[in-house]
Amino acid sequence: MDHVFTIIGGGIAGLTTAIALKRIGIDAVVVEATPEFRPVGAGLSLAANAMQAFRELGIADAVIAAGRKIDALTILDQKGNVINRTNTEQVNAKYGISNFSIHRAALHDVLYSLLPPGSITRGKRSCDIEEVGDGYCVFFEDGSSILTNHLIVAEGIHSPIRNKILPASKLRYAGYTCWRGIVKNEKQITTVSETWGTGGRFGIVPLANEQIYWFATKNVKEPGSKLKEFKRSDLAYNFRDYHEPVVDLINATPQEHIIWNDIFDLEPISNYAFGNLVLIGDAAHATTPNLGQGACMAIEDAVVLANCLKKHSNVPDAFRSFQEKRLKRTHEIVKGSWRLGKMAQIENAFLSKARNLLFRMIPQSVYEKQIDDLFNVNFE
Ligand SMILES: Cc1cc2nc3c(=O)[nH]c(=O)nc-3n(C[C@H](O)[C@H](O)[C@H](O)COP(=O)(O)OP(=O)(O)OC[C@H]3O[C@@H](n4cnc5c(N)ncnc54)[C@H](O)[C@@H]3O)c2cc1C
């Protein structure tokens, strides 16, 4: 065999897992498709569950130094009136750690810096696998292949290896499309907000280094639709009736820096472990972004997987134990995020008024309980 442990995919799941395994004495090789690191120009919120995972790995301080603390999430209507404001400080105090926002590139930089040089092989996109004895041969698009005893698949939502071993696994189009951008925080905005309106949703997340990350979503029947051609001016026009500074943020973002993609998730699958192979991160449980939990779950996976490998000397047992610990929580988050998306994306004027009224009436304790459920993670 060329390697004992191989991680395919050097995204948030793959890199965090490599760090977690290194801590327990396992030197895994990470094999990544992109030939060079190209940071995605978008932000990420890291909720307290992800921050606890980083704390378990002893790297929370490095992430905190690159991020910005978030104390509350405010949901607004399109005129800017508050629908709900959930202060997370009390729940955070219970877990002894805050929520943070971070530039994706900054998080990648932190994770890379914690791995020894040479632990990542770049420019190799997996396209197939074959079982070889108890291990696997992974084939790459460039014609090369590697043999490994144990395979951790962290290739993201479109994972070809998952598609090979689970040909019935299905991506579900959520019914909305998304734009993202990062601009200078000219107006010194300090509040994280999400605006629900009849033209779609608009999120504003202050980042470190005086930057603002924004996202916009809009309902559209078919994926890959004509909205792909939407220009910045079309987007600004779409949100013209929204409160300040929605249109200003869109207009301040250079057209070429606006990222567009349709929103999909992975219909929950019932197995993550397959003998000496395990699926983690989006390859296992890609979710819609409504709860801001996709990367958080990937980071949790890394810690739980390392703990399972520490406990079980037999790797397939460790992978099976990982699956047992992760299926329920990840399925619940995927389903909860899907449901929230359906509510938040209501664009019909009458129904959105009714929804806003309902969300204003929900007691604060209910929001806090939901947040507590997300933050309350067991890594053992
Ligand atoms: C609009 C949007 C907003 C989001 N906001 C948040 C948020 O605020 N908070 C949060 O927690 N989550 C958020 N998420 C989800 C988050 O981005 C993902 O859950 C997270 O990136 C998953 O990490 P991953 O490493 O599993 O997959 P990925 O990030 O997709 O990484 C996969 C890696 O594998 C590589 N790869 C792909 N195919 C191959 C192959 N065949 N061979 C080798 N390498 C391969 C890729 O190049 C990549 O480096 C958001 C998602 C979207 C779409």
Quick check: is 208 in a domain? no
* Residue 125 three-state SS: coil
What is the structure's pLDDT at 126? 98
What is the structure's pLDDT at 245? 97
Euclidean distance between CA atoms 166 and 23, whole angstroms: 31
Tokens, residue 338: 């899907």
Closest alpha carbon to 157 in 178, 141, 171 = 171
Residues 6+ apart with CB under 8 A from 50: 295, 296, 299, 300
21 residue type, one letter: L
Residues 6+ apart with CB under 8 A from 117: none
Residue closest by Cα to atom 19 of ligand 1: 294
Q: Is 330 in the pocket of ligand 1 (CB under 6 A)?
A: no
- Predicted structure pTM score: 0.97
CATH number at residue 31: 3.50.50.60
Quick check: is 241 in a domain? no
What is the structure's pLDDT at 228? 75
pLDDT along the chain (380 residues), means of 10: 92 98 97 86 95 98 98 96 93 94 96 94 97 96 97 98 97 97 95 97 97 97 83 96 98 94 97 98 98 98 98 98 98 98 96 96 93 95
Residue closest by Cα to atom 52 of ligand 1: 289
Structural domain range at position 66: 3-171+265-375
Quick check: is 292 in a domain? yes
Quick check: is 13 in a domain? yes
Q: Is 294 in the pocket of ligand 1 (CB under 6 A)?
A: yes
Q: What is the distance of C-alpha 177 from the center of its chain?
A: 16
Q: What angle do CA 244, 101, 345 make, to 5 degrees?
A: 55
What is the structure's pLDDT at 351? 97
Give 299 Cα–ligand 1 centroid separation in angstroms.
11
pLDDT digits (tens, 9 = 90+) for 194-213: 999 999 999 999 999 999 99
* Residue 85 three-state SS: strand
Quick check: is 278 in a domain? yes
Give 196 Cα–ligand 1 centroid separation in angstroms.
25
Give 158 Cα–ligand 1 centroid separation in angstroms.
10
Euclidean distance between CA atoms 266 and 269, whole angstroms: 8
- Number of folded domains in the chain? 1
pLDDT digits (tens, 9 = 90+) for 96-155: 999 999 999 999 999 999 999 899 999 999 999 999 999 999 999 999 999 999 999 999
